[in-house]
Copies of this chain bind each other. A is one copy, B any other.
Amino acid sequence: MSDPINLLNKRGSTKNYDAPDSSNSVGWTQPQHLRLADDNDPLPLKCGINFAPIDVEYETYGRLNEERSNAILILHALSGDAHVAGWDSKADEYKRPWRKTRPGWWDNMVGPGKAFDTNKYFIICSNVLGSCYGTTGPSSVDPATGKPYGLRFPVVTVGDWVRLQCRLIEHLGIEKLLAVAGGSLGGQQALEWTLAYPERVGSAIILASSTHLSDLGLAFNAVARHAILNDRNFKDGNYYGDEVPDKGLSIARMLGHITYLSEESMEKKFTRKYIRGDKPKFHLGIDFEVEGYLHYQGQAFVERFDANSYLYITKAMDYYDAASWGNGDIDSACKRTKSRFLLVSFSSDWLYTPQQTRELALSLYRAKKPVSYINIQSSYGHDAFLLEGEKLKELITSFLDGGIVKDEDTA
């Protein structure tokens, strides 16, 4: 095993990552592409449009066994991509320079010997429809016009994403997934899989997620979209090849980061510290560390994300309501599933609260489905599903090995 990579990021802090030649890493990865809908076989969308063409970017790690029974589909969240683990060998080719300084977004959870052990499981993740990381989205060229779709792109839903993912799974020759797993919006996709394709999912691991976004969550997304739509450079979404609506998108991202942290984690991280010195500078610019952090996050995001994709993906997030499988009744919806469930919430998460996850757990209980619900004590807020690797590893390993983990709050 090689030494961990110790990378200095732009903000001057270091993080330890498993190097590509480490025995803990899936190593060098490369994105794969597949056309999953064309004019002869378009994807029927919830909005009523039959949409094509659709190309999907995905990655896989580990090996599919002969019985094709060890496949786990991982679902990414709002700003995520198919690059879950390891180091992207095509970062230069695809002009994704940020991937050169860090591994995939769940590298701490996916790899040899990790929670999602690539020595045992065949791991799949695909970028969602409407995103900007290789799967068809608003920045893709519309063959009908030869120009990027922009707002001519259809409004997509979590259900649409899952139906597209199902085509990928079929293409890979997998009839039934051993498990689906995701956090946040990824958790909602995992839930949707168990309801849309009950025969095709053995187990579901749903982290920091729920059946629907709260009104508070809707409110944040509304302000984020308002900021993008009103950016001077937005131009009805036709900004490609020109100045992009970076101000609006950075506001959206700053807001997002507020919701990913918790009051407690903010206080631990920043404690009203001034960026330089310990006194007000008596100006209207940035004084406090928390301001500097948010500005940095906003700026970094506009270098890697498309504003139109942010609009479409947050809309899918807003619209999702698992209860629609039961005509508005979640208990009834839950009767459809044939999966076993591991639900995990995090005590300080206020975007998808423990209470919301618990309500899903209770609906599954009432529907007599095997479900384990754990609320992990964590100060990390919503981000905990990415950061609490140690605690999650124990739970996920045990759950995938067939165990029902204990039912309530754990340390």
Contact = CB atoms under 8 A, between A and B. Distances in A.
Interface in A254-293: 254-255, 258, 263, 266-267, 269-272, 280, 282-284, 286-288, 290-291
A172 interface: no
A191 interface: no
A51 interface: no
Q: How large is the interface on A (under 10, 10 to 19, 20 to 34, 35 or more residues)?
A: 35 or more
A149 interface: no
Contacts of A284: 151, 155, 225, 229, 311-312, 315
12 contacts: A157-B280, A212-B272, A213-B272, A214-B267, A215-B269, A219-B258, A219-B294, A220-B258, A223-B251, A226-B254, A230-B251, A284-B315
A282 B298 CA distance: 27
A232 to B, nearest CB: 4
Contacts of A263: 214-216, 350, 353
Given A218-B288, A226-B295, A251-B251, 9 more contacts: A151-B284, A155-B282, A214-B263, A215-B266, A215-B272, A219-B291, A263-B353, A287-B319, A288-B318
Interface string A207-241: 00000111110111011011101101000000000
A311 B282 CA distance: 12
Nearest to A233: B232
**How many copies of this chain sit in the oligomeric assembly?**
2
A375 interface: no
B254 A295 contact: no
A147 interface: no
A255 B216 CA distance: 11
Nearest to A283: B155
Contact of A272 (B48, B218, B280, B353): B218
B215 A227 contact: no
A271 B215 contact: yes
B282 A47 contact: yes
A250 interface: yes
A46 interface: yes
Contacts of A250: 226
Nearest to A222: B291
Interface in A300-340: 311-312, 315, 318-319, 321
A267 B215 contact: yes
Contacts of A215: 263, 266-267, 269-272, 288, 290
Contacts of A288: 215, 218, 222, 318
- Top 9 A-B pairs, shortest CB-CB distance: A47-B282, A232-B232, A222-B291, A215-B266, A230-B247, A155-B282, A215-B270, A280-B319, A215-B290
Interface string A8-21: 00000000000000
Given A214-B267, A267-B214, A321 B272 contact: yes
Contact of A227 (B214, B220, B251): B251
A295 B229 CA distance: 13
A227 to B, nearest CB: 5
Nearest to A258: B219
A29 B168 CA distance: 70
A267 B218 CA distance: 11
B227 A227 contact: yes
A321 B269 CA distance: 19
A321 B280 CA distance: 11
B223 A254 contact: yes
| Residue in A157, A255, A283 whose Cβ sees the most chain B Cβ within 10 Å | A255
